Amino acid sequence: MTQTNKLATAATVAVLGSALPALAGSTTPVEAPESNPCGDWCDTLKGIGTVYKNGDNPYVQELKFFGRYQWQSAHIDGNDVNGDDFNSSFATHRRFRLGAQMKFANYFKLKANVNLVADAKHTSANSINWGFPDVASAVFDEAKLTFDAGKAFGTGGLDQLHFTYGRQKLKMSQEAHTSSKKIKTVERSALANTIYRSARPVGFTVDAAKGSWSGAFAVFSDQIAGTEWDSVIGEWSDGIGYYANVTKTFSDDSELLIDFLYHDDSGDALVDWFGYDWAASVAYAGDCGRWGYMANAIVGDHGDLGNEDREGLFYGAVLMGTYWIAQDSLELVGQYQWQGSEESEGVRTNSRYFRADNGGDVNSGRGDSHHSLYAGLNWYLCGDNAKIMTGVEYQNLDTPDGDADGTTLWLAFRTYF
């Protein structure tokens, strides 16, 4: 990245962190929560980001900074498609992001954050880059402007109506709806990642809610931009993705989530945000006392990828259960995932760490059937704001060259403010 682009990127985020005194008016200090004489580090962590809040100010109503840091390590031991043993250990700075959010002019919210580490030590590149990524399309995590149309003009019978434009997270699958700050497993399932893809396309989204129903409709550009500016504003010369979500919240706070994406593009799906023709996800999640549960069924079609073995239908399901050993402090987690396809290489494992550069031949993680079983223990030091995650995961993959399996031991620390 050139020095000019780095400065431009920094300025884009920094503009959220600056408000002229004339605009801010008289500042109302954010009251700190009551604490013991030595202070409460957890309350500080949760509230430190909000530096200004005044709903009566017509210009700037709120200004806050936010960030997350996630580190993890893993050891994998397995047998590859040739029957040979392999094992390797990894330590990864998984995510480091900083950003700012400003609510202004009563109806608008501007939010942007940047990625500050790209750790690829688990790949053949064996590299780590601190600071803004070298790849322009990876600098920003999100950068978007939201307009509260319901508050400005009335909702027309709705409880909420928002319009958003900019670089946004694609929320395909229940696990993608859940932030990485709050997921129960160290990594999302491979099936969820197949339709989520960590995609951050630029697009226009309408969010609405009425009673126990909520939903969203979005039109996204599938183009991975070549500059930081275009990764926020968007390039619309290639394919389009149409996304829809409907969510029903029941009286016990359980949720039914339905997601659908249709990708209209005759170009190379390997170099766009979505990478498949269409996909659908139906999930149900909730809690019952100390227990939590989630079930997610997914189906889709890869479309034309230039390789018949990797095209056609894919499908599968994810089941997860949780149990509080000590309420809000110590939690057991179990997850089972299966994914299959009609072609011989239609499913793929996660890059971390089954198909990482670990010395084993697992056909690049591609096959037609993949099972994974995860058991973990999460220790919440300050809710999801600071937690330690441990786990063990077994995976089995059927490939055209034979079966491969492996067991991974996980350890992770995650924090955010």
pLDDT of residue 266: 72
Tell me: the pLDDT tens digits for 339-367?
999 999 999 999 999 999 999 999 999 99
Q: Which residues contact 212 (CB under 8 A, 6 or more apart)?
A: 248, 249, 250
Amino acid letter for position 143: A
Q: What span, in angstroms and rounded, lies between the C-alpha atoms of 43 and 381?
A: 12
Judging by DSSP bridges, how do beta strands 366-367 and 202-210 pair with one another? unpaired
Determine the residue type at 319: L
Decide yes or no: CATH 3.30.1330.50 for domain 3-416. Answer: no
Tokens of 183: 């997921």
pLDDT of 278 higher than 70: yes
pLDDT of 34 higher than 60: no
pLDDT at position 11 over 60: no
> Which residue from 279, 269, 364 is spatially nearest to 307, judged by alpha carbons?
269
Of the listed ranges 35-49, 194-208, 255-269, 309-323, the least confidently predicted one is 35-49
The stretch 232-236 carries a mean pLDDT of: 95
**Which pLDDT band holds residue 39 (cuts at 50, 70, 90)?**
low
Tell which wins on pLDDT, 225 or 9. 225
pLDDT at 374 over 90: yes
pLDDT of 268 reads 64
The pLDDT of 236-265, averaged and rounded, is 97
How many other CB atoms sit within 10 Å of the CB of residue 388?
14
Alpha carbon distance 33, 39 (integer Å): 10
Q: To the nearest whole number, what is the mean pLDDT of the chain?
A: 93
Q: What is the SS3 assignment for 125-157?
A: CCEEEECCCCCHHHCEEEEEEEEEHHHHHCCCC
Q: For residues 71, 72, 73 and 79, what is the CA-based torsion angle, rounded to 10 degrees?
A: -140
**Average pLDDT value for residue range 22-33:** 49
What per-residue confidence (pLDDT) applies to 52? 98
Say how far apart CA 208 and CA 206 lie, in whole Å.
Answer: 7
Amino acid of residue 205 = T
pLDDT of 58-71, one tens digit each? 999 999 999 999 99
Residue carrying the six token digits 């339905």: 258
Give the range among 1-10, 47-56, 69-78 with minimum mean pLDDT. 1-10
Query: Residue 32 pLDDT > 60, yes or no?
Result: no
Higher per-residue pLDDT: 267 or 215:
215
Of the chain, the end-to-end C-alpha distance in Å amounts to: 28
Contact by Cβ (8 Å): 390, 413: no
Encode pLDDT of 293-323 as tens digits.
999 999 999 999 989 999 999 999 999 999 9
- Which band of pLDDT confidence, cut at 50, 70 and 90, is reported for residue 24? very low
Task: Report the percentage of the chain scoring pLDDT > 70.
Answer: 90
Do you find a cis peptide bond into 353, omega within 30 degrees of 0?
A: yes
Residue type, 344: S
Determine the average pLDDT of the residues in 85-107.
98
Residue 33 has what DSSP assignment? P
Residues 182, 68: Cα–Cα separation, whole Å: 11
DSSP letters for 66-115: EEEEEEEEEEEEEE-TTS-EEEEEEEEEEEEEEEEEEEETTTEEEEEEEE
- Nearest by Cα to 223 from 237, 244, 213: 237
pLDDT, tens digit (0-9, with 9 covering 90-100), for 91-101: 999 999 999 99
Looking at per-residue pLDDT, the higher value among 212 and 34 belongs to: 212
Judged by DSSP in three states, 206 sits in: strand
